[in-house]
Amino acid sequence: MLRKAPVIGVMGSRKEAWTDYASALGQLIAQRGYHLLTGAGPAAMTAVAKAFVETPDRNGVCLGVYPILGSSYKGQALSAEEFPNPYIEVPLVVPLDARSQNDAVPYSRNLLNVMTAHALVFLPGSHGTKNEVSYALMMNKPIMLFGPDAAFATFPQDTLRSDHIKHVEQFFDQVLGVQ
């Protein structure tokens, strides 16, 4: 039976892994006994899921929200080589097409990621990550941007941000309580 615990959403780039940040974050989430939710894709999503799954004695599971294979992402078909990444333990498949990537359809994978998580930590990313930050702000979800400040230059300036894992730990304590 799945243990009831907070779900931490981690979103970020599908092109750059940000391994130092993603690894520290995945390990912290696992050590805290939380569940991890990602977009189940490559790069940052794979790096955080790998660190989470490889953390010894963890209690949480790695959830991955991913599009129907063969769906289009900016005109390119998604493949089983990228989705889900090999560290996803509970795959959650949702429709995703070019319209949802252009924000014309509000019921997208990004919205599901944000709605499901109790708190969200964003690694650097581009349009999709910014879209998820926007959804999280609209829904008053607790969020933190984690990575070098320059990588978030085009993100909302009034969001909590840091490049130190200790600050992420303090964020979890504040929004989820000390466990």
The answer to whether residue 63 sits within a structural domain is: yes
Q: Is 81 exposed, middle or buried (0-12, 13-18, 19+ CB in 10 A)?
A: exposed
What is the residue range of 141's domain? 7-173
Query: Is pLDDT at 161 greater than 70 in this prediction?
Result: yes
131: helix, strand or coil: helix
Structural domain contains residue 142: yes
- Is the pLDDT at 102 greater than 70, yes or no? no
The mean per-residue pLDDT over the stretch 156-178 comes to 95
**Distance, CA of 12 to CA of 43 (rounded, Å):** 8
Grade residue 86 by pLDDT with cuts at 50, 70 and 90: very high
Note whether residue 66 is domain-resident: yes
CATH code of residue 25: 3.40.50.450
User: Does 127 reside within a domain?
Assistant: yes
Asked if pLDDT for residue 172 goes beyond 90, the answer is: yes
- What's the pTM value of the predicted model, to 2 decimals? 0.91
Does residue 151 register a pLDDT over 70?
Answer: yes
pLDDT digits (tens, 9 = 90+) for 12-29: 999 999 999 999 999 999
What ranges in 4-64 are assigned the alpha helix state H? 19-31, 44-53
Q: In this predicted structure, what is the pLDDT of residue 70?
A: 62
Answer whether residue 1 is part of any domain.
no
Q: Domain total for the chain?
A: 1
What average pLDDT score do residues 111-136 get?
A: 94
Does 106 score more than 60 pLDDT? Answer: no
Residue 2 lies inside a defined structural domain of this protein: no
Cβ proximity of 84 and 91 under 8 Å = yes
Distance CA 48, CA 11 (A): 9
Average pLDDT of span 119-126: 97
